[in-house]
Structure 1
Amino acid sequence: MALFSDQPGDEGLPGRERGLAMAAVMTMTTMAVFDGSMVNIALPQIARTLNVSAGSTVWVSNGYLLSAAMTLAIFAALASKFGFRMLFTLGLSVFTLASVGCALSSSLDMLIAMRVLQGIGGAATLSIGPAILRSVFPNRLLGRILGLNALMIGLSTAIAPVLGGTILSAMSWQWLFAINVPMGMIAVTLTLRVIPNNPASGREPFDFTGAILSAVVLGSLIMAADAFSHAAKGDLATAVTFGLTALLAGLAFVWRQRRAPKPLLPLNMFASSRFTLAALTSLASFVSQGITFVALPFLFQSVYGYSAFYSALLFTPWPIGIMLAAPHAGRLADRYPAAIISTLGLSVFALGLILLALLPAHPQAWDIGLRSLICGIGFGCFQSPNNREMLSNASRENSGYASGVLAIMRTFGQCLGTAFVGVMLSIYAANSAIQEGHAVQLSLWLAVMATLLAIVISVSRLRR
């Protein structure tokens, strides 16, 4: 296979070791995708089993998201201090052990605490996963391997709801966490064997002030987005408070990074306009994806009346489209300008979203699936070339930081998208199918606007 064949002058690891390192990273990626998708559909069963309210179980998901978001930038910086192998092994170990804790949880408080630990472990691995792939593969194969990584994410996203529903129909929710244990053990073994432990600069000082400020910024943004989505229920003041906290902490963070001897996040990375524009394009596109991923279940279940399982099947064409497009887009990005390919992908994505927003009142299932498939193909064509653009426009010594920025853009884009849908539902006080239908339709048009903004930003790269 071309990915694992060596050529003179290749950077990174020899061919066979590349494959093992890729397996370690993609196993962890699969665990994280499975965990997020399957846990959400298990919340009703968790509420019944632990005898708690359905609303309180939301923090089983939010606790993971919040802890992961608050530590993404910190772990991206620690990668340059301790090396990829040590940090990835630590993150995998924490994630796997926390999965055991989740499976053994006998109370909601214990389960939420274990999910917070899972989020910390997940952030340690996901923040540097793309950087590890860049370090072990030569530049000539970077787009291709990022395309395969996107393929794995798409495949996991397609399988997770069906697998989760199957497990829940036959066993208890604890098994959703238990399946992480063998996968985690395999990934740790591969990591210790093949993933390189460089770059590492253990004697350099760590920016503790910057770390605290970054956690406050990212955590406050998550809480502000969540409170803003419930503004109609009286949480507007809370949203404003968290938003102001994030703004002030953000200004202090930038001030600190300009003066720290070893900054947590080197701001000179953003001197590259191509890196900055790729990051902003990623943020806008994930806002759009976040809106759509939350709006479509309401459309399928509340408006069209489909069951949760059938709704999951209707959503499947989206990740299938990513699986079909991403590997080819990554391969093309190794040969042609990545900005052109990602812009074309965004255009197809926008077309698919417009088609979804224009769905009739009583569409056929194949019609819904076809429009979702177009969205997936467009997003698959965009994602891996854009990720390649970000990583290739950061120096190799800054690849860990660039990988962290990529993870932050994805996380906060999806959070903002979720908040926007919450605002639409709150405005329409969605207590009927007709009102929810209006809220969902407006949300989809908002996703179209976010994608058009991403296209404008992406097009601006072509002139550079």
Structure 2
Amino acid sequence: MVETGTTIQTDKPDGLPLQRRIWAIVSVGFALCMSVLDVNIINIALPTLSQEFGTSPSATTWILNGYQLAIVISLLSFASLGEIVGYRKVFLSGIGLFCITSLICALSDSFWTLTIARVFQGFSASAITSVNTAQLRYIYPKRLIARGMGINAMIVAVSAAAGPSIASGILSVASWHWLFAINVPLGIIALVLGYKYLPRREERTKRKFDTISAIANALTFGLLIYTLDGFAHQEEMDLLAIQLIVLVIVGTYYVRRQLRQETPLLPLDLLRIPIFRLSILTSICSFIAQMLAMVSLPFFLQNTLGHSEVMTGLLMTPWALATLVAAPLAGYLVDRIHPGVLGSIGMVLLSTGLFLLSRLTPDSSEIDIIFRLILCGAGFGLFQTPNNSTIISSAPTQRSGGASGMLGMARLLGQTAGTTLVALLFSLIAPAQSTTLV
């Protein structure tokens, strides 16, 4: 082990041996799938939870919002912590807490118990997603890192898209409690495999954790998400104006503090790299587009076409299945086709599929819907793999945590913005028109 400047370097081999690598990938895959899936797996059960706990629909959404908000405000902090104490420690701690909070969620008998447990579940999911991509540099040999990105992108994309399908399947045979209970055995498997097989040798930075920046980060992104949600739900303008003023003050202080840091919590140093900055922006746009479809399409399928919740989940499945095929295929092709070209092809397919979805009518058949979703899913998978690979590979090795955190933040900001845009559009467009808008 060699210490140079502020970085502690380890004499690590080029990736893990094949057998150990496979089990490490399984651990990362299980943990990542759970953390991403639980962002929106609860959507379909929200009406049931509202009736069971006697809460209003708007209050019940905090079971979902609390989870996502916890991830947003803490993701960059956990990524920074991973660079200091090690990605493995942060990752395994996140899995352990996720198992505990999932069990509490499954056993909850009140709205507040479930909501608070979901917030802490969100923090544990943040620890998992903040460093999972950074670990790939130590799991895979350099020549196979793109394929590893493909597998990772596939897991994230499929998990994000398959939430309604998996939820409808579970709810068709069991109560909502099993939406959380299913995480416990999967989490234990991921924890045991991760403890045994994840790489222990990592390149770390020798610096102290910036607590003040972590607090400013949480306030900035928390206020940003809460204010966007307030605009979407047409809250009082006086309250929104106060939130905006506080956001500008705190956000300005946060950014100025980061500009003075050598390795900032908000990786402004990485955003100065043109290809990194461009890839992050396109990643945000892709997830905005995905959530616009994922959130609005169920309204069309149920309110206009009259499908049940279970049927809606099944009709949404082709997107996830197409991504399941396209993402690892892109990981194989990225060594043969320039990432920019491959990603552009994926984005064209995604844009074409979304445009065709917007042309659906009340007379559209199931085949019409499935074909469009396959096109979207294939394009989404072909884009995510080369784009994610570019984000991670363009950052210095010792800043892998910051790059991984920004990759996760791009996904979360895109998903949140997409969901908010749907709510805003539905509030502005007449109900008769909004049910046909996708």
The two structures have a TM-score, normalised by structure 2, of 0.92
Specify whether residues 140 and 182 from structure 1 end up closer, same or farther in structure 2 by C-alpha distance, changes over 3 A only. same
Q: Is contact 1:84–1:196 with CA below 8 Å preserved after alignment?
A: no
Worse overlay, 42-51 or 292-301: 42-51
For the 8 Å contact 2:162–2:316, the answer to whether it is kept is no
CA shift for structure 1 position 236: 4.0
Which consecutive unaligned segments of at least 5 residues does structure 1 have? 1-8, 445-464
Deviation at 1:429, TM superposition (A): 4.5
Q: 1:224 touches 1:240 (CA, 8 Å); kept in 2?
A: no
The 10-residue stretch of structure 1 (103-112 or 34-43) with the greater mean CA deviation from structure 2: 34-43
Q: Which deviates the most, 94-103 or 197-206?
A: 197-206
| CA distance in structure 1 between the partners assigned to 2:195 and 2:363 by the alignment | 54
CA separation of 1:31 and 1:189: change in aligned 2, threshold 3 A: same
Partner in structure 2 of residue 457 of structure 1: none
TM-superposed CA distance for 1:417, in Å, is 1.1
Is 1:19 aligned to residue 17 of structure 2?
A: no
Query: 1:445-456 counterparts in 2 under 5 A?
Result: none
Q: Give the CA deviation at 1:60.
A: 0.5
1:112-191 correspondence to structure 2 within 5 Å: 112-156=115-159, 160-191=163-194
Q: Show the counterpart of 2:3.
A: none
Question: Is the 1:81–1:200 Cα contact (8 Å) retained in structure 2?
Answer: no
Once residues 359 and 429 of structure 1 are traced to their aligned partners in structure 2, the CA distance between those partners, rounded to angstroms, is 18
Return the alpha-carbon distance in structure 1 between the equivalents of residues 396 and 203 of structure 2. Answer: 15
> Alignment partner for residue 30 of structure 1, among 30, 33, 36?
33
Matched positions, count: 427
Over the aligned positions, Cα root-mean-square deviation in angstroms equals 2.0
Cα 1:356–1:418 shift into 2, 3 Å: same
Deviation string 1:97-136 (CA, Å, 9 cap, x unpaired) is: 1111111212111111100000000000101111112221
After TM superposition, give the deviation of residue 155 of structure 1 in Å: 4.5
2:311 partner letter: Y
Partner residue, 1:82: 85
**SS in structure 1 at match of 2:172:** helix
**What is the identity, as a one-letter code, of the residue corresponding to 2:194?**
T
User: Which residue in 2 is equivalent to 1:335?
Assistant: 336
Counterparts of residues 196-275 of structure 1 (less than 5 Å): 196-199=199-202, 201=204, 204-231=207-234, 234-260=235-261, 262-275=263-276
Q: Counterpart of 2:202 in 1: which secondary structure? A: coil
Aligned letter for 1:42? A
Q: 2: CA distance between counterparts of 1:312 and 1:306?
A: 10
CA offset digits 1:292-327 (Å, max 9, x no partner): 111111121122222222221221111111112111
Q: Which residue number corresponds to residue 65 of structure 2?
A: 62
Which residue type is aligned with residue 414 of structure 1?
A: Q
Give the distance between the partners of 2:387 and 2:85, measured in 1 at CA. 28
2:6 equivalent in structure 1: none
Q: Tell whether the 8 Å contact from 1:345 to 1:379 is kept in structure 2 after alignment.
A: yes
Counterparts in 2 of 1:357 and 1:134: CA distance versus 1, 3 Å: same
Deviations 1:182-241 (A, max 9, x none): 11111111121122244365752221121111111111111112111112xx34444444
**Any idea what SS the aligned residue of 1:360 has?**
coil
Q: Secondary structure in 1 aligned to 2:38?
A: helix
Distance 1:143 1:28 in 2: 20
CA distance 1:362–1:106, shift in 2 (3 Å): same
Correspondence 1:193 to 2:196: yes
Checking the alignment, whether the CA contact within 8 Å between 2:105 and 2:117 is kept in structure 1 is: yes
Query: 2: distance between equivalents of 1:35 and 1:325?
Result: 23
User: Cα gap change, 1:255/1:158 in structure 2, threshold over 3 Å: closer, same or farther?
Assistant: closer
Structure 2 residue identity aligned to 1:73 = L
Q: Contact 1:86/1:197 (CA < 8 Å) preserved in 2?
A: no
Aligned counterpart, 1:283: 284
Map of 1:41-52 to 2, 5 A cutoff?
Answer: 41-52=44-55
Residues 245/330 of structure 1: CA separation in 2 closer, same or farther (3 Å cut): farther
Output the CA distance in 1 between the equivalents of 2:322 and 2:65. 28
Q: Secondary structure at the match of 2:427?
A: helix
**Partner amino acid, structure 1, of 2:222:** G
Provide closer, same or farther for how the CA distance between residues 308 and 171 of structure 1 changes in structure 2, counting only shifts above 3 A.
Answer: closer
Amino acid at match of 1:247: V
Equivalent in the alignment of 2:5: none
- Structure 2: any 5+ residue segments left out of the alignment? 1-11
8 Å contact from structure 2 (residues 270, 276) kept in 1: yes
Query: What is the TM-score with the length of structure 1 in the denominator?
Result: 0.87
CA contact (8 A) 1:27 1:187 kept: yes
Residue 436 of structure 1 pairs with residue 434 of structure 2 = yes
Contact 2:69 2:122 in 1 (8 A): yes
Give the letter for the 2:433 counterpart: Q
Indicate the SS of the match to 1:73.
helix
Give the Cα–Cα distance (whole angstroms) in 2 for the partners of residues 293 and 64 of structure 1: 18
Amino acid at match of 2:261: A
Following TM superposition, by how much is the alpha carbon of 1:16 offset from its aligned partner in structure 2, in angstroms? Answer: 1.4
* Bigger shift: residues 74-83 or 220-229: 220-229
> CA contact under 8 A between 1:285 and 1:413: conserved in structure 2?
yes
Rounded to whole Å, the distance in 2 between the matches of 1:244 and 1:292 is 32
Amino acid at match of 2:434: E
Distance 2:170 2:323 in 1: 25
Task: Map Cα deviations across residues 340-376 of structure 1 (whole Å, 9 max, x no partner).
Answer: 1111110111111111112234111101110111111
- Please give the secondary structure, in 2, of the residue aligned with 1:127: helix
Name whichever of 27-36 and 277-286 sits farther off: 27-36
Task: Name the CA distance, whole Å, in 1 between partners of 2:111 and 2:355.
Answer: 41
Closer, same or farther in 2 for the Cα pair 1:271/1:178, shift >3 Å? same
> Cα gap change, 1:199/1:256 in structure 2, threshold over 3 Å: closer, same or farther?
farther
Q: SS in structure 1 opposite 2:108?
A: coil
Residues of 2 paired with 1:262 and 1:281: CA distance?
24
